[in-house]
């Protein structure tokens, strides 16, 4: 409770006088006009020595940007004025630091090479975390036929990536407490969204053949950290004004009131927790897909970031009830501004099977089971 009031007072100071102006969008369009048709009895005019035009059918459709998306430019954490950054960092400094287990779970060596036995040993060394992980694994959320009594059994039933993801979620949520039903509801919804999004990322990364599946799932889970932090620490009056649905609307409101979006606040908090730089960048850059065209993205990271972004957005929609079930979602028909740039990323070769992956019966069945358990809780 004391933490909430401290954070509220500091964030209230941060809210005062913050005004972020968006940059003007640029629209470049060319409209070539055809010349007159040559006479039948005259030779055609010589053509310039240039590359043949791309057939119209092969050209990607033009991207139409919503005015609010054109006007919005999220401020990077490194761009925030030092005095305002210090206010936010002060709030994060008072948030209880997570156990060292978090650093172990996110270290590149562990993510890439750890065995199931090594994971079980790490979690078992933190009895409180182990108990919470076992409670979740044995809940209707994962639908196990027989209850498991140890972390090693949980890993055997659900797999290393799933158990590791559950552990990361609990470590994060343990740092934040609620002082009102309203705040608890936002935290619970965010928790559910991260669980659904991480399961989506796990299964889709596997189906699409991504080698770095563990790192992608970790990034998705951590991308919700800033949302948890703002929900737990900002004054209740400010929290009530934030849109519950839609990343663009929420990000604009967060930046207007706090100076940063929750995604960038999460970046600051991850740095404060001294997480590996690559982990911070991977998680912190996910929400920036909202405003980053595929052509401007790092080609080595574009497909992974796009997949994580899609999973995070779908997790939020499912958790809030905006999307009743995954089978009702069709990316090709999606016109929401938060999916505008994702259409360009979807043409990445590594995402060629994304549509079929989203329609996979086992994925839809597992998410539906998770949703039913969440609604019954």
What is the pTM assigned to this prediction? 0.81
What sign has the CA pseudo-torsion 230, 234, 240, 242?
negative
Q: Give the position of tokens 């079930």.
A: 325
Angstrom distances, CA of residue 127 to CA of 98, 99, 116: 14, 12, 18
365: helix, strand or coil: helix
Domains annotated on the chain, with CATH: 76-96+177-377 (1.10.3210.10), 98-174 (no CATH)
Whether 4 contacts 233, CB under 8 Å: yes
Nearest to 103 by CA among 301, 267, 277, 304: 277
Tens of pLDDT, residue by residue over 11-62, are 544 444 443 333 333 333 333 334 443 433 444 444 433 444 444 344 455 5
Tens of pLDDT, residue by residue over 176-205, are 888 889 899 999 999 999 999 999 999 999
Q: What is the largest CA-CA distance in the chain?
A: 91
Tens of pLDDT, residue by residue over 72-107, are 999 999 998 888 888 887 777 767 788 888 888 888
Nearest to 374 by CA among 131, 145, 140, 200: 140
CA distance 177 to 161: 26
In this predicted structure, what is the pLDDT of residue 23? 38
């Amino acid at each position: 409770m004391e933490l909430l009031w401290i954070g509220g007072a500091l964030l209230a100071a941060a809210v005062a006088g913050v005004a972020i102006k968006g940059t003007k969008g640029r629209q470049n369009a060319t409209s070539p006009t055809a010349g007159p048709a040559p006479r039948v009895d005259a030779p055609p005019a010589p053509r310039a020595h240039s590359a043949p035009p791309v057939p119209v059918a092969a050209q990607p459709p033009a991207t139409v940007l919503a005015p609010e998306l054109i006007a919005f430019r999220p401020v990077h954490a490194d761009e925030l004025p030092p005095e305002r950054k210090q206010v936010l960092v002060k709030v994060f400094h008072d948030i209880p630091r997570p156990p060292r287990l978090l650093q172990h779970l996110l270290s590149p060596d562990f993510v890439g090479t750890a065995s199931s036995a090594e994971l079980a040993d790490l979690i078992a060394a933190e009895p409180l975390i182990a108990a919470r992980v076992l409670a979740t694994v044995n809940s209707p959320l994962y639908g196990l036929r027989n209850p498991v009594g140890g972390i090693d059994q949980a890993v055997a039933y659900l797999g290393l990536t799933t158990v590791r993801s559950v552990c990361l979620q609990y470590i994060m949520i343990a740092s934040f407490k609620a002082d009102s039903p309203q705040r608890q509801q936002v935290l619970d919804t965010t928790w559910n969204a991260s669980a659904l999004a991480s399961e989506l990322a796990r299964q889709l990364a596997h189906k699409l053949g991504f080698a770095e599946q563990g790192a992608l799932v970790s990034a998705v889970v951590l991308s919700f950290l800033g949302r948890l932090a703002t929900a737990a620490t900002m004054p209740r009056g400010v929290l009530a004004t934030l849109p519950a649905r839609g990343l663009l609307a929420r990000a604009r409101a967060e930046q207007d009131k706090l100076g940063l979006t929750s995604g960038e606040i999460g970046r600051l908090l991850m740095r404060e927790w001294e997480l590996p730089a690559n982990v911070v960048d991977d998680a912190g850059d996910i929400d920036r897909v909202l405003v980053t065209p595929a052509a401007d993205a790092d080609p080595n990271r574009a497909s992974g970031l796009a997949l994580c972004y899609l999973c995070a957005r779908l997790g939020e929609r499912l958790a809030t009830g905006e999307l009743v079930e995954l089978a009702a979602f069709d990316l090709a028909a999606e016109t929401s501004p938060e999916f505008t740039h994702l259409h360009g990323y979807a043409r990445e070769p590594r995402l060629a099977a994304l549509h079929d992956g989203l329609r996979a019966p086992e994925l839809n069945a597992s998410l539906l089971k998770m949703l039913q358990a969440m609604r019954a809780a």
